[in-house]
Structure 1
Amino acid sequence: MTETRVLSPDDVDVLELVLTGVLPELPEELRPGAGSDVVFTDAENTPIGRVDTAGVVHSEKALALPQSPLADPEVRLTAPLSTHSEVAVWLSVPLVKAEEDAVRQRVAGAAPPVVIAVPASRHAVVGIGEAHPIALLEYARALATDLGGAQVVVVPWPNGPEAYAGVSPAALASALNADEIIDPIAQRASDIHEKVAQLGDAFARAVAEIYSPEAARAVTTSHANAHRRGKVYFFTGLSGSGKSTVAKAFATALEAEGNTVSLLDGDEVRHHLSKGLGFSREDRETNIERIGYAASLVAKHGGIAIAAPIAPFASGRAKVRELVEGADADLVLVWVNTPLEVCEERDRKGLYAKARAGEIPDFTGISSPYEEPEDADIVINTAELSIDEAVEIVRSA
């Protein structure tokens, strides 16, 4: 019997490394038991890989990549590099000036090309002194120019590689076709680590220098509690309309600018927040209300929430608007109005075919209605717009 296993974003990064031949085999943490036949899916339940009973890893369908510069085939590592290099630089965070100087000195005598490898996680968590992968890629390109035209390569990389045995920058030497990989951060001096760690307290230190203790307390407290108005971007549309793709690309664009974004995608919410609910009208309305409630909590405290369920019923969407506006936040309703026939052509999971065959009851657009929004703030059609164009339209709202 075939087992199905849902992978975390970090697991998907590791699977991509294996499927593209960058890593020779799955880490032990992801290997199924002997004789097991396992299908790996992403959080949207799309099959992306399979391990047969002999332990061989196969690709099921193309991995869904974020719509961003990180997915550019010109830079993303999709197979081991064919061009040999003497030195590769592992660029996991922006370097301080002294580290940049050290890298220049190290590669000065190396034969071109020098490779700059930028790790990019599907689950990026940015701390003090770090950068979102898109911002890091832009920095890498500037550094590459400074080094005389180094080759920049984006490497899919789990956010916590220490959890996976054998997944390390050094393990990528063969895939990068490099004699040596240098990791400036592994050699970072302790005083630099300390200075970077103190960046987060820079505001408080500056305030303490120019205010009395009582005034400083008032200023820092007010700054810490400053409340910006929260916002919820609620995408609705048929399955396959492109709403999740646009929502994820939009979230990535906002995160690259330093925003903290909570993404509530339909399938992932079903797996966690609404596990056990069916697809009757009542259950669907409950699912949408839960999404709206979670999004309103994020926005209530000045955050940005992005949701991308089908949300077929006007009453459910109205409830979401009520919850968000009741939390003193703004709702932007985005209707992804892509024609049904286009959605069917894109269907990666074969759901429309099953619905038309009667295998899936109450399927929106086939055997269950989709009530077109009359109060949408934005209407886009991904059959006529590129993802980048759609994201820009949403950003302008």
Structure 2
Amino acid sequence: MKKHIIYLLLCSFLFAACKKKEDVSKPILGLEGDTWPKGPIDEWLYNTFTKPYNIQVKYRWDASELALDKRLVPPYEDKIQPLMEVVRKAWIDVYSKEAGEPFIRKFCPKQYVLVGSPEYNTNGTITLGQAEGGIKVTLFRVNEFSNTDRDITKRVLKTIHHEFAHILHQNIMYPPEFKLITPSVYTSSWNQLSDDAARLLGCITPYASSAVDEDFVEMVAVMLTEGKANYEAIVNTIPNPAAIASIRAKENIVVTYFKQVYNINFDSLQNSTQVALNSFAPFKFRHIIGPGKIYSSININPARLTGLSADFNTRWAAAKTGLAAVGAANRVLDSMKLVVTGEQTIVATFMYRNQAGVNFTASFTYTMNPDANGVTMLTLTTKDGNASVVEPGLVSITTNYLAAFPFKLDYYTGYPKTGTPEQYAGLLNQTTPAAYMIGLLGK
């Protein structure tokens, strides 16, 4: 026992000897928040957002603002001003123009938090933005932003208008009739739907089918960021009249809600948004044609289509004669279509019949490499079995036309027609403008 007491006393002396007096007067780094010297971007943000609208833009890393169970990264500093320029011109300025600055001061969120990466979710989706209680909006994927890329800029702008529409309906709720239009379609499995599948259900996007509030704000965001012509094209290409009627009913409630509740002319707001978007990333026809886009094909049937160039009609007549002569088989050429299958590929498919009236197709695949103005040559790369057989009869189009001139893929008049679901586009000959070919746009 005595030995144990001596041992314990010895240990106590050792610990006492090792004990050091701590200086508790020094502050712990970061405990009171990190500080940075303000630079030009901070001054610009203050003068553009904080001073006139009382909006704080937070881009320096602060984990307390974000989900602690997510792996996120801060934004690149050189992305901040280009992105926030879009926020100012295509959201704040357009609402200020249509509803007045007091409106935007009253309803704007008081904080924007910018995050470099997307926020990945356990269901395989990613979060692009979120609004919290009408006070704070968080924007993700900032490091991918380019204000000259229309697809990226439109995606960010759609997120901004989506979140602001949440703030508006949280202030004054949209009419309850909206909830009755497609009450049975809302699902937690929305991420398994394609755009086309969601639209067949009467929802403008897959996310719109996740909940009725999301349906409302997605309608607002899509109508504003697509613009009148593209929105009309989206709706008019839905192959289901009942689905179209549902979306039109939702559209009507949105337009009426903005006018009756906030005295905002939605058509004017839509036009102003497009003007602002075009000032950063002008519309190009390639934005709406191709896989997963509004259109994918241009359908040419000279027997039913007026407005084709005399040059193309002459070439078509030669192709009809030439196809009939191949093997003396008297095949009949009916129509053709151009299908944009990728950013650099387009397929020309010819529809024809044999003497027995059996239908066949022949497909020729071309590569294209559009320049900044959308002008490209077409280079024939592959052809299917039928195309190899009938090609000698179609050279007036496949070789002497499609592969012979620089073309621009565009609307026939350079812009969509208003007031009609039928839209025409084609290959506009850049060497001989009068030698164009056009057709009806389709899925």
Name the larger-Rg structure.
2
Point out which structure has higher relative CO (alpha carbons under 8 A, 6+ apart).
1
TM-score range, shorter chain: under 0.3
Q: TM-score, normalised by structure 1?
A: 0.25
TM-score under structure 2 length normalisation: 0.23
